[in-house]
Amino acid sequence: MKWPCLVFGAAAIGWCALVDSLAADTGENIVVQGIPGRVVACATCHGARGEGGGEGAYPRLAGFPAAYTETQLKAFRGGSRASPLMSPMATGLSDADIDAIATYLERQQPPFAAAPTAEPARLEHGQSLVTLGRWAQGVPSCTSCHGAALQGVAPAIPSLAGQSAQYLSAQLAAYQSGQRAAGPLDLMGRIARGMSSDEMRDTALYIASLRLGAKPEIPRPATPEPYIAKPQSPDAFVPPPESAIPSGPYGELVRLGQNIFEDTPKYATAYAGNTLSCRNCHLDRGRDALSSPMWAAYVHYPEYRKKDGLVNTIQMRVQGCFRYSQNGTAPEADSHELTALVTYFYWMASGLPVGVKPKAAGYPKLNAPKAAPSPERGAKVYAASCTLCHGDNGLGRSSGGQQVFPPLWGSQSFNWGAGMHQVDRAAGFIKTSMPFGAGGTLTDQDAWDVAVYVNSRPRPEDPRFTESVEKTRALYHSDHDYDYYGREVDGLLLGAPGTLEQWERRKH
């Protein structure tokens, strides 16, 4: 479509400009044929359908979220992402060209190249990093953000599936060295700087070895690693490695507990009231010392709780999570699901002394804020640091039909009775653990502000609602500072029955 413009000369320029602008909509043309004189066809290196090429030197682009491709092309064009090959190409692209290319590539689903082979030990090492990470050292699992099948999460998190090992390890190295900037939150920069070169290589090898659509599985050796529980100090505790989960009925129940923890709606369907999973508040499968680890919880129950005025067993405590955080139904104390969760916690606590409350129990306490937390300031923090994962609308992000990042408000989030609804708890969690890979980067005041902003958003009502918002607040929220329960926001009384529905009718 472009050749006639050149052939018919200057007289045709007006018409050609029109054709050009129309042609820009056809991303396929730019990818397959390029823009003569300005841009070499993307297909030359990346393949006509974005399948990648050069035996892995040129990345697969097919299926990338359009917004991600757009961001990257604009970064090449503007110079914030350096590449001797891509920068000159991107310079020749208009915004409309970029949009067209990105839209075209997002729709492509070419077959993946045959998975390359690698030494089993390297693949297993990579598998562990991809599915488990090394959270304690600030390296979340790849699946935590890129999705369970590494398919990417629109709009900004790319698919890793189908990329070559060569490309993936080069990008990790570029993030690590700073050669490739990792966006405003520098998430991948922080994560890559926490990885050794062996780890980067093996992660890349493992991802490249996956077949199309394959979901990386947590590595489970046929013969569990021998593990003899030994007494451990409660304040320097390390749970047993994943690979030590024994075989047999006990190990199966531990794994079921872990599955419920990781994907509650799938494995405890009857009790789940929203799309949240236990892991959303208790990172690293309940192991992370900064987000109320389950090993620490296990050893300090039974304990009296003011919340219900009862001594709670660990079962009763978890029933509370289902009722409030899950906005669902409490599993019976002897249900298979609750027994599985408790067995998982018990296994994780191996060696920890009973009744000695580890320092890691609960969420970290943040100092009181200097200025009263402000939802208006918090909204700005949210926009800058939280939308990547939780969305502009706070409803979280899904990919491949599974919730990857949890909704923070709305009908699929925790209700007004949940612990995470308490501003101080949320602030502590946000400060230390958010965003993934960049915990500790927000200021204390930012954490308080964004916590109170999230707290001021509508969510399902407290199942203990009694008579009026005032009375319910007096019964259950009187001693929590800053929380919005019972306050009016946008003309709606938060916490009152029906508020969420009114809000949703207005917003959607």
Q: Are strands 303-305 and 310-312 parallel, antiparallel or unpaired?
A: antiparallel
Decide whether 334 or 467 has the Cβ nearer to its own copies: 334
CB nearer its own copies, residue 7 or residue 354: 354
356 binds its own copies (CB under 8 A): yes
Question: Which residues, other chains included, contact 251 with Cβ-Cβ below 8 Å and sequence gap of 6+?
Answer: 224, 245
Q: Is 225 an interacting residue with respect to its own copies (CB under 8 A)? A: no
Site for its own copies in 248-267 (CB under 8 A): 248-250, 253
Q: Which is nearer to its own copies, 132 or 342 (CB)?
A: 342
Taking CB under 8 A as the binding criterion, the range among 3-11, 349-357, 463-471, 493-501 that sits at the site for its own copies is 349-357
By the 8 A CB rule, do 39 and 48 touch? no
DSSP-derived secondary structure letter, 239: P
Closest approach, Cβ 72 to its own copies, in A, equals 48
Q: Determine, following the binding rule CB under 8 A, whether residue 230 of this chain makes contact with its own copies.
A: yes
Reported as type and span, the H/E element at residue 209 is: helix 197-209
CB 340 → its own copies: shortest distance, Å? 8
Q: Is 353 in the site for its own copies (CB under 8 A)?
A: yes
- DSSP code string of 5-61: HHHT-GGGHHHHHHHHHHHTT-HHHHHHH-BTTTB--THHHH-TTS--BGGGTB---
Provide, rounded to whole angstroms, the least separation between the CB of residue 258 and its own copies.
14
- Phi first, then psi: what are they for 372, rounded to 5°? -55, 130
Size, binding site for its own copies by CB under 8 A: 38
Q: Is the dihedral of CA 404, 66, 64, 71 positive or negative?
A: negative
Tell me which residues in 478-507 interact with its own copies (CB under 8 A).
none
User: CB-wise, 54 or 353, nearer to its own copies?
Assistant: 353
Q: Is 229 in the site for its own copies (CB under 8 A)?
A: yes
State in angstroms the smallest separation of the CB of 318 from its own copies. Answer: 12
Closer to its own copies by Cβ: residue 15 or 304: 304
Under rule CB under 8 A, residue 9 binds its own copies: no
Residue 488 is inside which H or E element, if any? strand 488-489
Binding its own copies (rule: CB under 8 A), the pick from 37, 226, 231, 401 is 231
Q: Interface with its own copies includes 360 (CB under 8 A)?
A: no
Query: Residue 405, SS3?
Result: strand
**Toward its own copies, which CB reaches closer, 349 or 434?**
349
Binding of residue 175 to its own copies (CB under 8 A): no
Q: Which of 27, 216, 234, 273 binds its own copies (CB under 8 A)?
A: 234
Please report how close the Cβ of residue 277 comes to its own copies at its closest, in angstroms: 22
Residue 465 interacts with its own copies (CB under 8 A): yes or no: no
User: In which residue are the tokens 């790319």 written?
Assistant: 158
**Residue 334: both structure tokens together:** 């002897």
Run of H or E including 379: helix 375-385
Q: How far apart are CA 5 and CA 19, in angstroms?
A: 8
Nearer residue to its own copies within complex by CB, 251 or 400? 251
- Which sign, positive or negative, has the C-alpha torsion 490, 495, 499, 501? positive
Residue 61 or 244: the one with the smaller Cβ distance to its own copies is 244
Token pair in block for residue 328 = 């669902």
- Report the alpha-carbon distance of residue 243 to residue 225 in Å, rounded: 6
Distance (Å, whole) CA 321 – CA 26 = 50
CB of 239 to its own copies, least distance (A): 11
The DSSP secondary structure of 269-337, one letter per residue, reads TTT--SS--GGGTSHHHHT-TTS--HHHHHHT-SEEETTTTEEEPHHHHHHHIIIIIS-S-PPPTT-HH
Please list every residue from 286 through 345 that binds its own copies, using CB under 8 A: 298-299, 301-304, 309-311, 313, 315-316, 332-334, 339, 342-343
Whose Cβ is closer to its own copies: residue 337's or residue 449's? 337
- Which residues bind to its own copies, rule: CB under 8 A? 229-234, 248-250, 253, 298-299, 301-304, 309-311, 313, 315-316, 332-334, 339, 342-343, 346-347, 349-356
